[in-house]
Amino acid sequence: MNHGLLDRLAAELAVRRERGAVRTDLVVAGPQGTTLTVDGRELVNLAANDYLGLAADPEVLDAARQALDEVGLGVSAGRVLSGTREVHHRLEAAIAALAGTEDAVLFGSCFDANLGVFAALLGPEDVVLSDALNHASLIDGIRLSGARRQVYGHADLGELADLLAASAGARHRVIVTDGVFSMDGDLAPLPALVALARRHDAVLLVDDSHGTGVLGATGAGTAEHLGSQDGIDVLTGTLGKALGGAAGGFVAGSRVLAETLRQSARPYVFTNAMAPALAVAAMTSLRLVRERPDLRDRLVVHTGWLRGALRDLGYEVPPGEHPIVPVMLRGGTLARDVSAELRRHGVLALALAHPVVPAGEERIRVQVSAAHTPEQLERVVAAFGRARSALSAA
Ligand SMILES: Cc1ncc(COP(=O)(O)O)c(C=O)c1O
């Protein structure tokens, strides 16, 4: 490899290492579940997005196994060539049914969906108004479109209204937000965003990767939960979190939107189709989202209980209702130290530090599942309690 490039990369890695900012893979043995085996030890898993426990659901796994036998592993072709199977269309219809939209289009991941959607719809004549805490895939997708990106402060409706008023000459204005923000677990103010979009004749795009299947009476997501489903023009989401946790993403919306994406979204056209067995697993997960509202009910109970128990121990847990529970441990290596202490006590909960969250906003992100047992949640609280005593003694 070219020496100039290698030397520069090595120097940059050394700086990262000095800052303690080098990420290493946590290697897990065995399947996703409410416990994970790491270095031969079983840990209660608070570090996955498997909010309903469907990644380990026997019906989901059986359906995928059966599909593997019937339709094989991969299709070795893109959707627009010979890669489309009937299940892809059935899955798109099932996603549209959940989202309450006319149609939906599958992508290999939500990252791909977000990379593709803006460039297919927008160009330099357009303005995108983007929440400061939006996911990286939205930021990159907006960049690829060539549209002018204006960032408004997180959930700052006043600043957004000013930017909308100032960009009235653009061909289209698109307000872009996560439905649930993945580092804080807070919800976008969708009813107010819908009202602003209507007032300014703007488009509203919501990435509800952490809301789909999790929030709302039918699991349709954050907009259903907040009563603003009608006002969302474009919805993106993932099959890699609550909906079975394997892989896949989607864009849901009107028929014309879907047709446009099928013609010109580059991560739809120029890539391999989703493995049919994964599509079958996602279909099964969507059926369970529909038929098992008790999973969401249990998730609400678990989340409320754990948020309360952690606060009772004296931890700072910002208000919220989502199973992403941030436990604020600001400054230095405190979050990392508490995470290590939790692991010693049989609990896996990861620390987040700069650049994933702003410096001074370090935290442990706890992710609750409907599948956690009460005993596991009690173990978690006991571990947080011990971690607190160990650190105050240190
Ligand atoms: C808000 C949000 N959007 C998109 C993604 C990407 O989803 P996927 O894993 O399907 O690419 C994530 C996952 O990290 C996310 O949190």
Active site residue 89: no
Q: What is the pLDDT of residues 148-181, one digit of tens each?
A: 999 999 999 999 999 999 999 999 999 999 999 9
Q: How far apart are CA 221 and CA 207, in angstroms?
A: 10
Q: Which of these is catalytic: 182, 285, 339, 369? A: 182
Q: How far apart are CA 353 and CA 331, in angstroms?
A: 9
Q: How far apart are CA 348 and CA 342, in angstroms?
A: 7
Structure confidence at residue 393 (pLDDT): 67
* Distance between Cα 295 and ligand 1 center (Å): 22
Question: How far lies 302's CA from each of 185, 374, 380, in Å?
Answer: 15, 8, 12
**Distance, first Cα to last Cα, the chain:** 47
pLDDT surpassing 90 at residue 343: yes
Q: How far apart are CA 274 and CA 79, in angstroms?
A: 8
Q: How far apart are CA 106 and CA 93, in angstroms?
A: 10
Residue 185 region, left (φ>0) first, then alpha (ψ -120 to 50), else beta? left
Q: Burial of 31 by CB count in 10 Å (0-12 exposed, 13-18 middle, 19+ buried)?
A: exposed
Q: How far apart are CA 208 and CA 180, in angstroms?
A: 6
Q: Give the E-state strand segments of 114-270 in sequence order.
A: 127-131, 148-152, 173-178, 203-207, 234-238, 249-253
Written out in words, the top-level CATH class of the domain with range 58-291 is: alpha beta
pLDDT surpassing 70 at residue 394: no
CA dihedral 352, 355, 359, 361 (to 10 degrees): -40
* Distance between Cα 111 and ligand 1 center (Å): 6
**In a 3-state reduction of DSSP, which class is residue 189?**
coil
Q: Which two tokens stand for residue 102?
A: 């006319």
Q: Which of these is catalytic: 241, 302, 322, 372? A: 241
Pocket of ligand 1 (CB under 6 A): 109-111, 135, 137, 178, 182, 207, 209-210, 238, 240, 249
Q: Burial of 269 by CB count in 10 Å (0-12 exposed, 13-18 middle, 19+ buried)?
A: middle
Structure confidence at residue 351 (pLDDT): 96
Q: Which residues pair with 272 in a beta bridge?
A: 78
C-beta separation of 275 from 74 below 8 A: yes
- pTM, rounded to two decimals: 0.97
Residues of the chain with CATH 3.40.640.10: 58-291
* Distance between Cα 185 and ligand 1 center (Å): 14
| Sheet of 35-38, strands arranged across | 28-29, 35-38, 41-45, 347-348
* Sequence-distant contacts of 138-143: CB under 8 A, at least 24 apart: 138/114, 138/176, 138/178, 138/207, 140/114, 140/115, 141/114, 141/115, 141/116, 141/117, 142/118, 142/176
Q: What is the pLDDT of residues 13-29, one digit of tens each?
A: 999 999 878 888 999 99
Q: What is the pLDDT of residues 223-241, one digit of tens each?
A: 999 999 899 999 999 999 9
> Before 319, cis peptide (omega within 30)?
no
Q: Chain-centre distance of CA 382, in angstroms?
A: 28
Q: Burial of 96 by CB count in 10 Å (0-12 exposed, 13-18 middle, 19+ buried)?
A: buried
Using only C-alpha atoms, what is the Rg of the chain?
Answer: 22
pLDDT surpassing 90 at residue 361: yes
Atom of ligand 1 nearest to the CA of 112: 11
Q: How far apart are CA 45 and CA 193, in angstroms?
A: 35
Residues of the chain with CATH 3.90.1150.10: 20-52+292-393
Q: What is the pLDDT of residues 273-291, one digit of tens each?
A: 999 999 999 999 999 999 9
Nearest protein Cα to ligand 1, atom 7: 110
Q: Which residues pair with 38 in a beta bridge?
A: 28, 41
Written out in words, the top-level CATH class of the domain with range 20-52+292-393 is: alpha beta
Structure confidence at residue 21 (pLDDT): 80
* Distance between Cα 223 and ligand 1 center (Å): 18
Active site residue 241: yes
Among the listed residues 286, 332, 325, the one whose alpha carbon sits nearest the alpha carbon of residue 305:
325
Q: Which of these is catalytic: 88, 135, 210, 322? A: 210
Mean pLDDT of 344-356: 94
Active site residue 167: no
Nearest protein Cα to ligand 1, atom 16: 182
